Amino acid sequence: MPAGAQSPAGFEAVGSVAVRTFAAHQSRPQTVRTAHQSMDGHHVNAMAGDGSGAPHNHFADYDELPEGHFYDPDAEYEPDPEYAATLAPDAARQRRERVGPTGRPLPYFPIPGPLTDHGPAKIIAMCNQKGGVGKTTSTINLGAALAEYGRRVLLVDFDPQGALSVGLGVNPMELDLTVYNLLMERGMAADEVLLKTAVPNMDLLPSNIDLSAAEVQLVSEVARESTLQRALKPLMADYDYIVIDCQPSLGLLTVNALTAAHKVIVPLECEFFALRGVALLTETIEKVQERLNPELELDGILATMYDSRTVHSREVLARVVEAFDDHVYHTVIGRTVRFPETTVAGEPITTYASNSVGAAAYRQLAREVLARCHAE
Ligand SMILES: Nc1ncnc2c1ncn2[C@@H]1O[C@H](COP(=O)(O)OP(=O)(O)O)[C@@H](O)[C@H]1O
Ligand SMILES: [Mg+2]
């Protein structure tokens, strides 16, 4: 491929290999602050109240920490008091019993240490055949949080809608090469398709509507379920985590993602029909386990769009915990308008609103995911 042949607006070709960057972000001041840096050394401790003895009202400023306070997961108490307090059904009880939003005691998830070597990658499929449950949001923000902790991360947009690509500031319509080409064209090098994101350590395999053709074309392929697995193999040495954003169906593309993956994360929206269809999903996961990928396991169920202020959200979460027990992550993602805003901004919440509770939640999730991987 000649240099520069792949240069849609917003990308630049460097040398003979198209190293594409997100020009849209380059003029933006870098606002990434890692979770363990506190700008002024001021540790936020929500549970300490304001010194008057009256507990701080954790729900009043739900989206943003108070002016001059920076999220610091290492501050006093365990763990992440600001985050945990915001999501606790009852802040007083949480203080007494140290229970998290799922009603179970909150373990401490340590800040991951730096890595000297990278790879081989653990592959995570973000999967739920229901749309609008937070798959794409969780892929972007878990990925960005892992990258902040120094992990090398590759995000794979495996939904022809291209929402993951859009959420990272890419216009999918302008792409000539996408994950579709990597799947369908033998000899296509991943480097030609890869995009660097504005987040250091995080790359993207973008997709667009072309991918919908793959679903049909793959049917006649040999070993059609393991096409993505083969395509990702050469990339595994370069990354610590590869996160695949699945499309909202249990079709061949999703089966490919499950076949390639070591772990599945299932985001569930905390609303009435959350559990509907989950049996079908777990059945699909089990079938893939039996027939195609014995390594596959359910890492966790992630409760999203949780609002501790509503009885309904709390009830749904309690039922999810009842059904899935230890499979439910202790980390719960609260509902905040900040997430839709980040899609418009085309960047993760960890950079868009670094001090927000939403960013803290995904950092906490990253720590929980890393802790689970280490426990193995
Ligand atoms: N925790 C949250 N709070 C509020 N809105 C959210 C949250 N997570 C996701 N959203 C919004 O909900 C919509 C669907 O989320 P998305 O991640 O695209 O779901 P999926 O990929 O499962 O279809 C998007 O507009 C997104 O911005
Ligand atoms: Mg999506």
DSSP state of 220: G
- pTM for the full predicted model: 0.79
Residue-level pLDDT at 228: 97
Does a structural domain hold residue 50? no
Does a structural domain hold residue 164? yes
Cα–Cα distance, 161 to 214 (Å, whole number): 13
Cα–Cα distance, 184 to 207 (Å, whole number): 13
Q: Is the CB of 343 under 6 A from ligand 1?
A: yes
Strands 195-196 and 202-205: antiparallel
Which one, of 338, 376, 345, lies nearest residue 61 by Cα? 338
Q: Is the CB of 352 under 6 A from ligand 1?
A: no
Residue-level pLDDT at 97: 64
Cα–Cα distance, 59 to 308 (Å, whole number): 9
Residue-level pLDDT at 181: 97
Does a structural domain hold residue 242? yes
Strand ranges for the chain from DSSP E: 122-126, 153-158, 195-196, 202-205, 241-246, 263-269, 297-304
Residue-level pLDDT at 132: 95
Range of the domain at 362: 113-313+321-375
Q: Is the CB of 165 under 6 A from ligand 1?
A: no
- CATH at 327: 3.40.50.300
Q: Is the CB of 98 under 6 A from ligand 1?
A: no
Ligand nearest to the CA of 63: 1
Q: Is the CB of 163 under 6 A from ligand 1?
A: yes
Does a structural domain hold residue 68? no
Cα–Cα distance, 246 to 252 (Å, whole number): 11
Task: Kindly give the distance from the C-alpha atom of residue 53 to the centroid of ligand 1, in angstroms, as a whole number.
Answer: 37
Task: Kindly give the distance from the C-alpha atom of residue 134 to the centroid of ligand 1, in angstroms, as a whole number.
Answer: 4
The total number of structural domains in the chain stands at 1
Walk along the chain (376 residues) in steps of 10 and give the mean pLDDT of each run. 40 35 35 35 34 37 42 40 54 65 86 90 97 97 97 98 97 96 93 96 97 94 94 96 97 97 97 89 96 96 91 91 94 92 94 91 95 82
